[in-house]
Amino acid sequence: MGSNRVIILVVAIAAAMGLMLIVRGLAGHHGPPQPVAAVAPAQPMTNVLVAHRDLPTGTRIGAGDVVWQPWPANALNAAFITDGHSAQAAPSGAVAKIARTAEAAVASAGPMEAVYGAIVRVPILANEPVVQSKLVRSGQGGFMAVVLHPGMRAVAIPISVSTAAGGFVLPGDRVDVVQAKQSDGSNGGHGYTSQTLLQNVEVLAIDQASEPAKGAQAMVGATATLEVPAADAEVMAKAKAQGEVVLALRSYADAGGASGRGSPTARQATGEVHIYRAGVMSNAMVTP
């Protein structure tokens, strides 16, 4: 057999084997070919500042009260606070969690910290976006009215270094309001009486500062604004008309006690007593 015939025979055998493999592959396929589902493009997301928990009126926002939450970029509102990053397609699965954590770590040094210290003026629910219209800061209109608790009133009284614990009374401290005045002499004495008018009341501000400067240990001002029960506002007004009052600084350990009107009985600081000996009267001044 010639070499040409051998080559033709080998080619024919290879073609036959290839055709057999193709036929087997077609025979093993069941049903018509299935269409491949189209993958929807990932939706761009942006980090929006939301409440981490319910924030009622009067809450002073601090770390942990607000968090970043991915938000559809096409549903953003101009009032929302964002991290300032451009909208990006949202990743999926564990990659998404890692990406959000990294973005939050970077963004926490900016817009999030800007709301720390602000007071909630209108309640914000958990996972609700935080907007500036629901917040108020010191120095803005309505700040003091938001800080006040229900049923309380803000009353300002004049102070000095000598009547405010040497200037160590700071906004946020608790004090007792004490007044000393000369007795009316109805019992023949000319001493002084002192009375605790209010106990354990909070100092809201010294002058117009609602919080001390960073690192400050004392504040010297001319006016202290106190938070007092509504029923005791008249007591403070009367005390101001009668004369000077003193703010006695309370320990933090005593700050959890009752707040309000003090003992109604004036304590005699100095007084005069009559002493009878063998029918002879003499007077003596005593200090309890």
pLDDT at 288: 45
Residue keyed to tokens 């770590």: 105
186, 238: one domain = yes
Q: What is the tens place of the pLDDT at every residue in 189-234?
A: 566 778 889 999 999 889 888 888 888 888 888 999 999 988 889 9
User: 169 with 263, same domain?
Assistant: yes
Whether 53 is covered by a domain: the verdict is yes
Q: Is the pLDDT of residue 52 over 90?
A: yes
The predicted-structure confidence for 62-119, as pLDDT tens digits, reads as follows: 989 999 999 998 888 989 999 876 455 444 454 344 344 434 444 445 889 889 988 8
Q: What is the pLDDT of residues 247-256, one digit of tens each?
A: 999 988 877 7
Do 64 and 122 have their domain in common? yes
105: exposed, middle or buried (Cβ count in 10 Å: 0-12, 13-18, 19+) = exposed
pLDDT digits (tens, 9 = 90+) for 256-275: 777 777 654 433 344 455 45
The predicted structure's pLDDT at residue 217: 86
Q: Are both 92 and 200 inside the same structural domain?
A: no
Question: 121 and 162: one domain?
Answer: no
Domain range for 268 = 151-273
Cα 158 to Cα 281: distance, rounded to the nearest angstrom: 44
Query: Is 216 in the same domain as 174?
Result: yes
Average pLDDT for 136-163: 83
For 118-129, how does the pLDDT look when each residue is reduced to its tens digit (9 = 90+)? Answer: 888 889 999 999
Confidence of residue 55 (pLDDT cuts 50, 70, 90): very high
Q: Are residues 179 and 103 in the same domain?
A: no
User: Tokens in use for 43?
Assistant: 């939706």
Where is pLDDT greater, at 30 or 43?
A: 43
Least confident of 37-46, 117-126, 132-141, 206-215: 37-46
The answer to the question of residue 26 being in a domain is no
Mean pLDDT value of segment 278-287: 49
